[in-house]
Amino acid sequence: MSEAPRSGDDSLTRDAPVDLDPEMVVEVVGEESVVAWPLWWRARQGTKPKRRRDGDRLSNPWLLLATVLTGLFASGFSVTILAVSIPEIADDLGSSTSVLTFVITGPFLAIALAMPLLGKLGDVRGHRRVYLLGLSGFAIATACTALAWSAPSLIALRVIAAGFGAATAPASMAMIMHAFTPGQRAKAMGWWSLVSAGAPVMGLVVGGPLVDAIGWRGIFIVQAPLAAAAAIVGFFVLPETARTTRAAIDGKGAALLAVATVSGLGALQLGGQVGWTEPLLLIPVAISVAAAVLFVFAERVATTPLIPLDLVRRRNFGASVTSQALSNFGYMGGYIVTPILVQEIFGFSVGETSFAMAVRPLTFSITAPIAGYVAVRVGERRCALVGSTLLVLSLVGFVFASLQESLVLMFASLAIGGLSQGVSVPSLVTVAANDIDAEDFGVGNAAQQMMSQIGAVAGIQTMSSVSTSATTGAFAIAYTVGGISAVGGFLSALRIRRTPPRPAMEVVRAA
């Protein structure tokens, strides 16, 4: 790991060839992609843009940026509109809303497990190749999704598409880092974050009226050609990145984690349908526990583990990851429950629901960079605690909004929820990044992303199972469950020790 430069030390020039690991500063979770904004601000302050770089840089990096952002938008804009369309899809396919939550949780889980593996594969095989194959596969699977004939077929095709689409985020970030000079990377990542966070908002604004006009299949009819066009442009524009020597990929760990997580989610789904005292539940629970135990043993001996156990034992890293997972349980659980609430209780159409739900990601996107700037001055721990508190208040607000059938309180809770995550999550990601050694940045951030996604998937499945009766009382209980988890996230954030931030130049040199 590079030594942190002393104040006034000019021996580390900004012209030195460095690579800022993109996985260190960005986390893709749920409906929003999170940049570790405090690190972003320090990186901008600690480097100075240059006009030219050595010959291995792309002559027009902004063309590369525009190309990969087109693919990122094409693969990311449908996630939120699908969430608000679940009741209509359930009616059309003759299924239940609880079963169709797997249309959301299945892809989230696929992304959580596939992204670190695909990131490593890009290092070994070349990020351009992985990006183009992933985006092309996503376009084909998305086109097939428009033809889904049943709930299981829709879920399966969505999972396949998400598995391919998971390649676009790490590969696009890696290509951006290779193309841009150190001083320009923070600016480029600002655009990356703007598009990745803005795509779900645009999906809600445009997709809601589209679904009302031609039905939910229109989402995929529009998305597939967009992704295909982005892949074709990328084929002609994108350069290949340098490849590293072959490195071990923890396939065994990924398989065991998938079995443990899917079995646990299956138990939650089954419990919501047959009751929590049903002996049949013991089967998926036993499989989940056994796979989790085997996963821990596998990670202890793996050369490049998916979740390094020694990192989890570090106080700040462990507290940050736990807080993110527990907070995402309540936050993303509300992501599914709230659209059903406004349609079943308040009588909103899909288009009206999409405009209502846009409040939350929009508030998040506006708040996150501002909160990152504030965190540089007041400390990440304080921002994490304030954001965690706001999340608890948001879920309490949803409880009363559902019981009193109050639209005003529901909109206020949506806004407070977006504000809460915008304030806390970038700081929590930064806290974890500051507790990782330079050589562990990639695998450490992959562990963050997986645990956050698993928390989100568990929250969606649990809260949707609780609210299956679609009554005000059931919605209130679901939000209460999410609120209890959010309190756990706050308590975990309390364990974070306040530590001096890394100097900006060390952040830039880190990879």
State residue 19's pLDDT score.
Answer: 40
On the question of pLDDT at 400 being above 80, the answer is: yes
Q: What are the tokens at 449?
A: 């992303």
| SS (HEC) of 94-114 | CCCHHHHCHHHHHHHHHHHHH
DSSP H helical ranges for 101-150: 102-125, 127-145
**pLDDT of the residue at 59:** 56
pLDDT above 70: percentage of residues in the chain: 76
Amino acid letter at 285?
A: V
End-to-end CA, the chain: 8
Gap between the Cα atoms of 178 and 168, Å rounded: 15
Largest CA distance in the chain: 68
pLDDT at residue 333 is higher than 80: yes
Q: What is the mean pLDDT of residues 64-72?
A: 86
Tell whether the model's pLDDT for residue 443 goes beyond 70. no
Which pLDDT score, from 0 to 100, does residue 510 have? 36
pLDDT category of residue 139 using cuts at 50, 70 and 90: very high
Ranking 106-110, 324-328, 447-451 by mean pLDDT, the lowest is 447-451
Q: What is the 3-state secondary structure (H, E, C) of 8-49?
A: CCCCCCCCCCCCCCHHHHEEEECCEEEECHHHHHHHHHHCCC
Q: What's the rounded Cα separation, in Å, for the pair 157 and 161?
A: 6
| pLDDT single digits (tens) 94-107 | 888 777 888 887 88
| DSSP-derived 3-state class of residue 503 | coil
Q: What is the C-alpha separation between 415 and 33, in angstroms, rounded?
A: 18
Q: Where are the alpha helices (DSSP H) in 215-281?
A: 217-237, 251-274
Angle ∠(389,391,396) on CA atoms, nearest 5:
100
Q: What value does the mean pLDDT take over residues 466-481?
A: 83
Alpha-carbon gap, residue 69 to 7, rounded angstroms: 37
Task: Label residue 53 by pLDDT band (50, 70, 90).
Answer: very low
Distances from the Cα of 498 to the Cαs of 102, 205, 416, 437, 441, in angstroms?
39, 40, 25, 18, 20
pLDDT at 385 over 90: yes
- The pLDDT of residue 25: 53
Angle between the 79-93 and 102-125 helix axes, to the nearest 10 degrees? 130
Q: What is the mean pLDDT of residues 234-247?
A: 74
pLDDT of residue 474: 87
- Reading the block at residue 227, the tokens are 């992704």
Residue 355 reports pLDDT greater than 50: yes
pLDDT at position 412 over 80: yes
Report d(CA 176, CA 221) in Å as an integer: 29
Report all structural domains of the chain as residue ranges with CATH numbers, in order of start: 22-250+303-509 (1.20.1250.20), 251-302 (no CATH)
Pick from 161, 159, 164, 138: which is nearest to 230 by CA? 138
- The model carries a pTM of 0.75
Report residue 483 as tokens.
Answer: 């609120």
pLDDT tens digits, 3-52: 333 333 333 333 333 344 444 455 555 555 566 666 666 666 655 444 44
